[in-house]
Copies of this chain bind each other. A is one copy, B any other.
Amino acid sequence: MESIDDIRERFIEMIGMVTQAEGMPRISGRIIGLLIFDGCAYSFGELASQLQVSRGSISTNARMLVERGVIERVARPGDRQDYYQICENPYDSILRGVSERALRAAGDIGRIAGALPPDQSQTRQRLDEYADFYRAVAEGVKIASQRATGRSDDPAA
């Protein structure tokens, strides 16, 4: 029988690999995995020792995750250390980032399409289609976000 610690380890490493595959640093994913699995707040130092990484890495990755709204810093009275825990709905924040990137790509492509002279309508049409694709992605992600969270802004809930 596999121990809980083994399962935990497996989960944390797995999330690390998944986030790496999504283009994020592996340590970011391991922080997320740890905080989701244990569901409590950990201090800066605990994160470093639990994940066996340098404090520099924790500093960089924790800041990025806070900035993206995935984890949050919480204070403990009488304790000078920084504590971190997973946000209420981290998934929303993650998807917002994906959506933003897609919209930016759509905007970039649309701008290039707009720069084409009028006699290049065929090309412009292909580029506009491409931009629409990215807009559709952004839209689909937004829908996923609504479904994954408590559907707080979904009238049909």
Point out residues on A near B: beta carbons under 8 Å.
2, 4, 7, 10-11, 14-15, 18, 21-23, 36-39, 91, 95, 101, 105, 108-109, 112, 115-117, 120, 122-123, 126-127, 130, 132-133, 136-137, 139-145, 147-148
Contact = CB atoms under 8 A, between A and B. Distances in A.
Given A7-B112, A36-B130, A39-B126, A148 B136 contact: yes
A136 B91 CA distance: 10
Contacts of A2: 115
Contact of A112 (B11, B136, B148): B11
Contacts of A147: 136, 139-140
Given A7-B116, A105-B18, A136-B144, A127 B37 contact: yes
A137 B21 contact: no
